[in-house]
Chains A and B, each alone.
Chain A
């Protein structure tokens, strides 16, 4: 039994669009094993974010079924944690208090938050230290650099020990070096805690470096066109990104994206990387 199970999922954002047959995503089927790291790549506006909303239960499919952990999805899934391109930390809370925010909301932590605050705070500090934010726990987010804020944002997504981490272009706004550092942070967190990761990105190198399986999406209609397993051995070092095997996979994926952009008759030529 797969952990994430999409069967022929279609979604139109409202009834009007449904009647006209305009779907944000079409006929999505995928099966993700427990602990698997998948990446979804594709041009912007191809429904990647819609896919995230479906997976977390924030949106219900118009057709088809979604089951997570063997249970059909009926509403927001508390076993998921989310982080986005913007860290969106609250500026009036210190970093550690920002990380604690989900525990003030999600059960079973919510009801015991007051009595167990010290324990939870210790956990949040440990998590922050594990991503290299030791010593910055009591700083305010605006005193941290962009990369540090994004680390804190990922900690906030992980504090309630979700089974599934959803990341929507989390490193998109960072410079190349910081981005690579954060890849390694995410890789280590995943290796240590074995949660599922669904990473939405348009950085092909990022997807190949981090994921077990890469899915390519086409644009309007959003559907999966390619599924590519990445069999590079783990743990992967940044060095792997300079090997021919790695570049071959990246190149291959790039070809797919170029190909279906042409077929759409939208902009242009496939540019080889």
Chain B
């Protein structure tokens, strides 16, 4: 029992180390040149060498992503509220939103550049555009799946729509909301990097683009790793908040 619990806890680390070792082994065994596919060790060396620029770029990317993400939470929640609590709004807006979400964001970045110029604007907006949809859908689902009986119980007492929304709909949709945040945050990073690569003048995306064009594959890979690490950290943060605030929705896994 104890062993299996420990194993579960450390399993991600074990897998990570195993993958790195395998990677290193393959690169060394087949003597793949570093400008094609660098080994983990070469990437690690880049981290040491370009610590300053990498941290600076990571910081920039991080807060551009956070701004876009914050925007997508606000807009996503409001839209989710709207289409989740009104059938008319749902019917009217949903097809348009699906169509919009299907537009490749890479195609939108050049347009954003025309409108907002090179710099922060396109990054923030791309991060927002790519990540608000899952939030909206999840909030709307949480609200729309209310039991009609419970609504009757409250309506007969004179509850207004707002009461039902605040007392029941909102807490009910919280687990869906957190679930969507975990998806949205990873998407937001994708959006920011996309914008930085296409039309940035700073950030990890720009750094990778530059490194790539100079054939400095290990540095480009170091950028990739940085993005992955940041997204993972944010994901874990939201998982943690989710467990703390909506434990009732995950009772199956922690039933004692």
Contact = CB atoms under 8 A, between A and B. Distances in A.
A82 B148 CA distance: 12
B156 A76 contact: yes
Nearest to B166: A104
A114 to B, nearest CB: 15
Interface string B154-191: 11111100010001100110000000000000000000
| Interface bracket on B | 20 to 34
Interface in A52-82: 53, 56-58, 76-78, 80-82
A56 B153 CA distance: 10
A37 to B, nearest CB: 20
A185 B153 CA distance: 21
Given A88-B149, A157-B153, A105 B167 contact: yes
B150 A88 contact: yes
Interface stretch (B51-59, B218-226, B244-252): B244-252
B147 interface: yes
Contacts, number: 64
A82 B156 contact: yes
A99 to B, nearest CB: 12
B174 to A, nearest CB: 8
A102 B157 contact: yes
| SS of A interface (majority) | loop
A98 B155 CA distance: 16
Contacts of A57: 156
A147 to B, nearest CB: 18
A80 B159 CA distance: 13
B152 interface: yes
A264 interface: no
A101 B156 contact: no
Interface in A174-225: none
A105 B163 contact: yes
Contacts of B158: 76, 78, 105-107
Interface in A5-53: 53
A86 interface: yes
Given A56-B156, A76-B157, A91-B249, A104 B167 contact: yes
Nearest to A107: B158
Contacts of A140: 248, 251
Nearest to B168: A90
Contact of A90 (B152, B155, B156, B171): B171
A88 B167 CA distance: 14
6 nearest CB pairs, A to B? A106-B157, A84-B149, A88-B150, A91-B248, A56-B156, A105-B159
Interface of A: 53, 56-58, 76-78, 80-84, 86, 88, 90-92, 101-102, 104-107, 140, 142, 156-157, 160, 168
Given A102-B157, A140-B248, 4 more contacts: A88-B149, A102-B154, A105-B154, A107-B158
